[in-house]
Structure 1
Amino acid sequence: MSVEYDRIVKTTTWSPGPGCHGGCGAKLYVKGDKVVKVEGDECHPWNQGRGCSRLLAMTQFMYHKDRILYPLKRVGPRGDGRFERITWDEAYDTIEKKFNEIKQDYGANAVIFIQGTGRDIGGPMSIVAYNYGSANWSQLGLGGQACYGPRLGAMSAVQGDNAIADCSQFLEKRYDDPRYKIPKYIMIWAQDPTRGCPDGFYGNWIIDCVKRGSKLIVIDPRQNFLTSRAEHHVQLRPGTDGAVAMGMLNLIITHKWYDKEFVENWCSGFEELSDRVKEWTPEKVEAVTWVPKEILYEATKAYATSSPGCAIQWGLPIDQAPDGVHVAQAINDIWAITGNLDVPGGQVIARNGYHVSAYPFDNYQLADMFGDDFVEQVVQKRIGSEEYGWLRKWRCYIQPDVAVQQMLTQRPYPIRATWIQTANPVANAADQKLHYEALKAMDFNVVVDLFHNPTTMSVADIILPAATFAERTGFRSWFEPVQVIQPAVQVGECKNDWDIACEMAARFNPDFRRRFPNGFADYMNWRLEPAGETYQSLIDKGGWKWAEDPGELESKVPWLPYYRYKTGALRADGKPGFRTPSGKVELFSTQNADWGSTGATIVDPLPHYQEPAESELATPEVFKKYPLVMITGRRSPVFFHSEHRNIPWLRECDPWPDVEIHPSVARDLKVEEGEWVWVENDRGRIRRKVKINAGIHPKTVSCMHGWWLPETDGRSPNLFGAFDVGVNNLIPIGLQARTGYGGNGYKTTLVRLVKMGGSETGTPCNPPVGVWGK
């Protein structure tokens, strides 16, 4: 070992730090009590030594001068930015006392537990919320709960299981396993996976497959690295993914490009689906989506006639389409009727190894931990459950569009406090100012974070400092393999999100402490029991464990591919088929029909297309005033959502909140690269720096989300410029679909650009020299 380091700690990343959904292996080089370098672990099966820029900048993240290292209590009015250091005991005692007072006065549901995304937080958040007794666990500010939920719900409704593109990630020998076949085509729909690793998927696996022979079809309004290497680029109007999917289904069925044997034996509702998609001719699709009919035909033919053995990798814009669930349902139907489900190189059904999960995911697991009576209370009291049957029957989140209104109106019951962890809603929520007002109206707000940001500065009463992945224990069970996170150092008094949650859970519910006297350590070993492992035994094995694999093509192991529907491995009764009521892939979803009928809205059992709420077709009068479709959410490889704007190496790579525009738009506006413009609509206006991109459609502009300016004043009213540059100031709330999932205007809001002039000329958010490395 080099004398430059005392030791190397191998671990698994899962934020905080890189910010992403994690899974990569990392090597932490430690000198004394400090991490001095971070690299990818070449032995790790997930990333095989590769590391993103955020991982490589971990030392700047961990030891940043502005990192919050101790618990803080607000002194003075909210927004003044004045906090004093307190002990952990004082912080815990204050939170316990205040939350118990609120419970006594208003009931436990008067506290909303708010999480963002990325950080390993679903488990900790649910543990503290449910042991406190609140049904209200939320991704507040995420309009339509439009982040993976609509796709997961659609897959549950159609085939009973999650499925992802097969890049050999469920096989220990990966590409060398003789059962595996490289996808003939990978259709990348509404995602650029190389710029960020999505849920349970490492983006560069796409490149691995392309190097081995996979061809690409890319469906995206923008040109990018992958479109330049694609055989077909389907450049659609933002928000019209559903029409493209319906048109593809029309072509597949009309030309009999579907897998007849699979459809006849393993699908139900094919006739109803065929009738539904008849109207979606290539000509109609072209009129709605901007996609030339010839391109639609050739792309569909390439995928369908090369099947089985073709995969689809999809992204967040599917969820954020006007009715994300039904868009996802249509895409699910595409891979199903072409015979690409749970076959080598296709769409592999994805389950966690040994059924290990970080926290109770469904009502049965909740009942095991908290009892049947509590589950019934959660189902009945969850915000939005009265309006949406899906919220009673499926995932545990409340409906965020309904929740923010309840915070403001205090009806049908009061909301008086929040617990905010891994979230920055003042900078990131749709309709930022609405959420700012809602959070200001609360009696008490707890924030768990690593740095001050617009949310901590504006509404926090107590701030708890979180640890990075390099400072904490943990485990990760997201498909394969089961693996652990182990700490290398301690920084300040920062604590693991899990440890914070387990301590508060034990304070709120003595039964939790009796069941898990050693807190998270006991809880973690309990969750690892199905794998026959403990935290320490996994460390002794090298940090991870693959599922035991009999090596058969038709698998009888629930969490290993392939063809499990033939062997009975997918169903609790052991019979062949899928985990649906009928045992078949339900193209006509009985789940949607049943769940929709129990709520105030009716959910269509078949896929359909819904036009965006604002568009040249739906609102021509608005389009005349605001003639550009604004796409938000474009990923930067150096940021994760609203994180990392203060990290020098990363900010240098992507220094400004920009707006991408086509050269023709720049000419019409008489602006050049680097000039500042207003982006505006009836909801407000924000400042952005022009970035000219010939690869974007002339009728669209693209603004990255999550921007705030940590180099500026964090006190009210500036709040690090969150309302000056944040694109979500222009995004509406309340456009959720009939399921309560999907929708909102993240990709379809109409705007116009206005050149800045006069006293507004200049760079309104120049960081001081030296702030981020210049």
Structure 2
Amino acid sequence: MVNLVINGKSIQVEENTTILNAAKALKIKIPTLCYLEGVNDIGSCRMCMVEVEGYPSLVAACNTKVREGMVIFTESDEISKSRQMMLKLILAKHRIHCFSCEKNGSCELINLCRDYGVDTTPFEEENKGKEGVIIDSNPFLQYDETLCIHCQRCVGACANRAGRYAIVTVRNGRENAIAAPFGKDWKESLCESCGNCANACPTGALISKNRSKYRIWQTKKVLTTCPHCATGCQYYLIVKDNEIVDVEPFDGPSNHNRLCVKGRFGSFDFVHSSERLKYPLIKNKETGEFERASWDEALDLVASKFMELKKKYGSESLAGFACSRSPNEDIYMLQKMVRTCFETNNVDNCARVCHSASVAGLAMTLGSGAMTNPIYDITNDVDCIMLVGSNPEEAHPVVGMQIRKAVDRGTRLIVVDPRDIGLSKKADIHLKIKPGTNVAFANGMMHVIIKEGLADEEFIKTRTEGFEKLREIVEEYTPQKVSQICHIKEDMLIEAAKMYAKAKKAPIIYCLGVTEHSTGTEGVMSMSNMAMMVGKLGKEGCGVNPLRGQNNVQGACDMGALPGDFPGYQKLKNKEVLEKFEKAWNKKLNPNEGLHATEVFPASIEGKIKGLFIFGEDPVVTDPDTNHVIKALESLEFLVVDDLFMTETAKYADVILPGVSYAEKEGTFSNTERRVQRVRKAVTLEGEMRLDTDIFIDLMNRMGYEQPYLTSAEIMDEIASLTPSFAGISHERLDKTEGIQWPCTSKEHPGTPIMHVGKFTRGLGWFYPAKYVESSELPDEDYPILMMTGRVLYHYNTRAMTGKTPGLMEISGSSFIEMNTQDAAELGVKDGDKVKVSSRRGEIITTARVSEKVSKGESWMPFHFPDGNANWLTNAALDEYAKIPEYKVCAVKINSYKE
């Protein structure tokens, strides 16, 4: 610790603290311009200059470290004159056009000039009278060099927040200049259009084009949670005249002032889209057209028809799907409606097609099916990261940014992925495994760990069970055998195992490349096996960490939108649990486990499911084997869709109910790290759209169940009263915190950042004896290419939200298939050619992207685009435990296509 005095106040701070941060601790404000914490501390603006006794000249507070006995003064005549002079020098290079500047009212330079009484400069003004030289080919961002003060905050933000290094300084004669990558060749640059640079810029030099729509004093800010991936980024919606015009990042626990391109630019256009459903619609059976209806007509029809089907065919003939993009409170009421009114447990959510294997697998091995450690914990101070089947730069971009920075700081990185993803270029080791061989890879890793004597014998002995059986199994998974199965080099597998096992802090981070297989649950349990074997659970910087897909897919599972679980994973089969919910809901409940979502569709074709309520999901686009899904929907007697848009699934509905978006309601999302965070209403739109919870409550009362009307906050109170892991969570408490990570078992409980500390939720951790089994469908003579699917950075799932932002569609607007160069040459296909891709289930036309990103005999497609939706091809083969489809492996053939 270091003792010093600032403006006559004594303070003790840690060594290596800057004068600026020491002053902040005393709530003494020192002006800054180029400085931005964690981003830039080059001290070029000289606004933070202070006096230090015994020093011959002023020093920069932002990058001068404290020393024992320092006596510092932050204000004096000399300091004020110095700051005034610096402002005058800066103004000489800064074109003044404040009234028309987009940053008018929020320009840090002009605010400081006002504070120090500087309104003119005595120096020759370089850019006086000039028109700005605007670089603005990028759809979202623009740069005006005549407003640039060369503070380099944009350079620091791109490097230190985004980890991208797309903006750099270059020499321009005598001076440094900013090379902004927004010109005509912006698509070829490293820029991801995340806008973190614009957020850092203190002037109007580098701005988001959205700034032209407003001035800051015309707006209000509403703090909320991003509706895209499950990172759970916190940001402000900027609202002008009841319209969302922009987004501004907040220093949330999972994003720390970062946003990706979707969060910053693709999270509000859809809210105001002209394509929004605004009125209830009922399909005319004679014409097949939808006709506008009143809410009473629509709700009466929905309630009466479901009750008619239940009476005629029994309660098991009905089912309901919850929306994993909606708040927890909506999901809770949907599953309550299905259980109390439909009188069935045929309720599920889209986790069934992405991460149900994580829920099932981790619940079996550890006792809790969720991410074990916080995002910051596994990216900030760790020795090694093992990234398996996950491409966070595209699917969870803000997590990807933090991993990039971890590697820059010296963290070692092991990438296990069939493709050359962006992070594989930064990896120490890239194991480019054959798709579908995760279990073999994990068993091979454990074989090496045991052979090298790197297993944590004490942890295994005291905290686990089943190790001996697993030891027997992995004995046969030698590096030579795994090399043949996974198509990887033996020495790289051995090195990866040593690197992971020897690291003190080493998390496993995985995603859909592990789960979306017919052996997805075994893949998840194999990740758990590896972590337990080396004792890397219940500790900082370690754990098994699935990156959940959609913004609230964790919450959808937490809230009981599962056929065998009540909220909080309380088992339907547990008699005491069943009786608790029967008492609370004043209703005799069906004790039989329901169908999974992926089982509902074949049951519909078989005539077992007659009525289906789909809330906010679009399975025609998202589920495998599209022809199969369409046939199932057409087999239903009655389909109701509650959504924002006329989706492909909604077109098959009998009744469509228009709900409201995240920006029009109160509630909570649970992000991938189990953090429950607030969603807040920002706007009210014209139309007859209604809160989804009110829709469900209206239907419940019409179907004979007396459900009082509850606010979102009151619904969360009911959830807390019935769910031990949520017992201490309420809107009131969340409004005073940065979110709470469950389990939170009382109002005094702080939440649980790291799971399984000292003891696993199930008691002893279980080593699951997983053996490698081949994928359900492998290439053959007819379909010789193995195809994988995944996400791209600029879109989310069906593009229902991101597709409404023109800039995102400009950057990435059509489908493609990645092909290996050898396969393409053999087929006579060149990069950019049209190709026909066929599987046993369908065929599509798309564009070839030829490279070495995928191995010979393999290919990869995104599933976002209607002009070539990969899910017409994918295989609906299901995992034994979680009933998750095998999106990641199907056999296709590719041929040249001439229009």
Query: Which TM class, normalised by the smaller chain length?
Result: 0.7 to 0.9
Is 1:525 aligned to residue 717 of structure 2?
Answer: yes
Q: Which of residues 394, 409, 432 is equivalent to 2:626?
A: 432
Q: CA deviation at 1:699?
A: 1.5
Q: CA deviation at 1:728?
A: 1.6
The residue matched to 1:484 in structure 2 has which SS?
strand
Label 1:104 to 1:6 Cα distance change in 2 as closer, same or farther (>3 A): farther
Q: CA deviation at 1:113?
A: 0.7
Is 1:314 aligned to residue 456 of structure 2?
Answer: no
Deviation string 1:417-457 (CA, Å, 9 cap, x unpaired) is: 11111211222221111221111121211111112122122
How many angstroms apart in 1 are the aligned matches of 2:488 and 2:359? 27
Is 1:738 aligned to residue 871 of structure 2?
Answer: no
Match of 1:91 in 2: 298
Task: Report if aligned partners of 2:582, 2:589 keep a CA contact under 8 Å in 1.
Answer: no
How many angstroms apart in 2 are the aligned matches of 1:47 and 1:212? 18
Label 1:544 to 1:739 Cα distance change in 2 as closer, same or farther (>3 A): closer
- Structure 2 residue identity aligned to 1:328: V
Q: CA deviation at 1:156?
A: 1.6
Deviation string 1:192-232 (CA, Å, 9 cap, x unpaired) is: 1122239xx94444234334432110000101111010000
Task: Report if aligned partners of 1:659, 1:701 keep a CA contact under 8 Å in 2.
Answer: yes
Is 1:687 aligned to residue 845 of structure 2?
Answer: yes
Q: Which of residues 853, 857, 870 is equivalent to 1:727?
A: 870
Task: Report if aligned partners of 2:279, 2:292 keep a CA contact under 8 Å in 1.
Answer: yes
Label 1:546 to 1:273 Cα distance change in 2 as closer, same or farther (>3 A): closer
Match of 2:316 in 1: 109
Query: So what's the TM-score if we normalise by structure 2?
Result: 0.68
Q: CA deviation at 1:139?
A: 5.0
Label 1:165 to 1:191 Cα distance change in 2 as closer, same or farther (>3 A): farther
The residue correspondences of 1:230-241 to structure 2 (distance < 5 A) are: 230-241=427-438
Q: Aligned pair count? A: 655
Match of 1:496 in 2: 691
Match of 2:100 in 1: none
- Structure 1 residue identity aligned to 2:790: G
Q: CA deviation at 1:660?
A: 0.8
How many angstroms apart in 2 are the aligned matches of 1:95 and 1:140? 21
Label 1:376 to 1:154 Cα distance change in 2 as closer, same or farther (>3 A): farther
Match of 1:460 in 2: 653
Task: Report if aligned partners of 1:340, 1:346 keep a CA contact under 8 Å in 2.
Answer: yes
Is 1:473 aligned to residue 659 of structure 2?
Answer: no
The residue correspondences of 1:215-614 to structure 2 (distance < 5 A) are: 215-306=412-503, 308-347=504-543, 358=559, 360-361=567-568, 362-363=570-571, 367-371=579-583, 378-380=590-592, 382-383=594-595, 398=596, 400-410=597-607, 414-457=608-651, 459-478=652-671, 479=673, 481-492=675-686, 493-513=688-708, 517-527=709-719, 534-536=730-732, 538-539=734-735, 541=736, 544=739, 559-561=752-754, 564-565=757-758, 577-580=759-762, 583-588=763-768, 606-614=769-777
- Structure 2 residue identity aligned to 1:512: Q
Label 1:739 to 1:505 Cα distance change in 2 as closer, same or farther (>3 A): same
- Structure 2 residue identity aligned to 1:612: S
Task: Report if aligned partners of 1:330, 1:608 keep a CA contact under 8 Å in 2.
Answer: no
How many angstroms apart in 2 are the aligned matches of 1:470 and 1:373? 30
- Return the structure number with greater relative CO, CA threshold 8 A, min gap 6: 1
The residue correspondences of 1:746-761 to structure 2 (distance < 5 A) are: 746-757=887-898, 761=899
Label 1:545 to 1:293 Cα distance change in 2 as closer, same or farther (>3 A): closer
The residue correspondences of 1:204-219 to structure 2 (distance < 5 A) are: 204-219=401-416
Label 1:371 to 1:203 Cα distance change in 2 as closer, same or farther (>3 A): farther
Label 1:433 to 1:77 Cα distance change in 2 as closer, same or farther (>3 A): farther
How many angstroms apart in 2 are the aligned matches of 1:665 and 1:420? 41
- Structure 2: state its 5+ residue gaps: 1-104, 107-214, 561-566
Q: Which of residues 796, 800, 804 is equivalent to 1:639?
A: 796
The residue matched to 2:803 in structure 1 has which SS?
coil
Deviation string 1:561-589 (CA, Å, 9 cap, x unpaired) is: 47722xxxxxxxxxxx3232xx321215x
How many angstroms apart in 1 are the aligned matches of 2:413 and 2:691? 41
Task: Report if aligned partners of 2:598, 2:883 keep a CA contact under 8 Å in 1.
Answer: no
Q: CA deviation at 1:124?
A: 3.9
Q: Which of residues 745, 762, 786 is equivalent to 1:629?
A: 786
Task: Report if aligned partners of 2:323, 2:350 keep a CA contact under 8 Å in 1.
Answer: no
Q: CA deviation at 1:366?
A: 5.4
Label 1:87 to 1:212 Cα distance change in 2 as closer, same or farther (>3 A): farther
RMSD: 3.2
The residue matched to 2:220 in structure 1 has which SS?
strand
The residue correspondences of 1:124-163 to structure 2 (distance < 5 A) are: 124-139=333-348, 145-162=352-369
Is 1:47 aligned to residue 259 of structure 2?
Answer: no
Task: Report if aligned partners of 1:127, 1:502 keep a CA contact under 8 Å in 2.
Answer: no
Q: CA deviation at 1:83?
A: 2.1
Match of 2:219 in 1: 7
Match of 1:770 in 2: none
How many angstroms apart in 2 are the aligned matches of 1:432 and 1:261? 50
Match of 1:569 in 2: none
How many angstroms apart in 1 are the aligned matches of 2:843 and 2:538? 47
- Structure 1: state its 5+ residue gaps: 176-180, 384-397, 550-555, 566-576, 589-605, 617-622, 710-724, 762-774
Label 1:475 to 1:438 Cα distance change in 2 as closer, same or farther (>3 A): same
Task: Report if aligned partners of 2:821, 2:850 keep a CA contact under 8 Å in 1.
Answer: yes
Q: CA deviation at 1:261?
A: 1.5
Label 1:342 to 1:183 Cα distance change in 2 as closer, same or farther (>3 A): same
The residue matched to 1:454 in structure 2 has which SS?
coil
Label 1:378 to 1:246 Cα distance change in 2 as closer, same or farther (>3 A): farther
The residue matched to 2:259 in structure 1 has which SS?
coil
Q: CA deviation at 1:521?
A: 4.1
Deviation string 1:578-621 (CA, Å, 9 cap, x unpaired) is: 232xx321215xxxxxxxxxxxxxxxxx11111112225xxxxx
Match of 1:669 in 2: 827
Query: So what's the TM-score if we normalise by structure 1?
Result: 0.78
Task: Report if aligned partners of 1:348, 1:562 keep a CA contact under 8 Å in 2.
Answer: no
Q: CA deviation at 1:61?
A: 1.3
Label 1:209 to 1:293 Cα distance change in 2 as closer, same or farther (>3 A): same
Deviation string 1:115-148 (CA, Å, 9 cap, x unpaired) is: 4544436434312211223424445898xx3422
Label 1:10 to 1:284 Cα distance change in 2 as closer, same or farther (>3 A): same
How many angstroms apart in 2 are the aligned matches of 1:486 and 1:66? 23
The residue matched to 1:434 in structure 2 has which SS?
helix
Q: CA deviation at 1:681?
A: 2.5
How many angstroms apart in 2 are the aligned matches of 1:136 and 1:562? 29
Is 1:678 aligned to residue 885 of structure 2?
Answer: no
Task: Report if aligned partners of 2:720, 2:728 keep a CA contact under 8 Å in 1.
Answer: yes
Instruction: Please say which structure displays the higher CA radius of gyration.
Output: 2
How many angstroms apart in 2 are the aligned matches of 1:338 and 1:753? 43
Percentage of identical aligned residues: 25
How many angstroms apart in 2 are the aligned matches of 1:5 and 1:444? 50
How many angstroms apart in 2 are the aligned matches of 1:431 and 1:727? 9
Q: CA deviation at 1:674?
A: 2.1
How many angstroms apart in 2 are the aligned matches of 1:681 and 1:546? 43
Q: Which of residues 18, 26, 37 is equivalent to 2:246?
A: 37
How many angstroms apart in 2 are the aligned matches of 1:377 and 1:109? 13
Q: Which of residues 21, 24, 27 is equivalent to 2:230?
A: 21
- Structure 1 residue identity aligned to 2:335: S
How many angstroms apart in 1 are the aligned matches of 2:286 and 2:590? 35
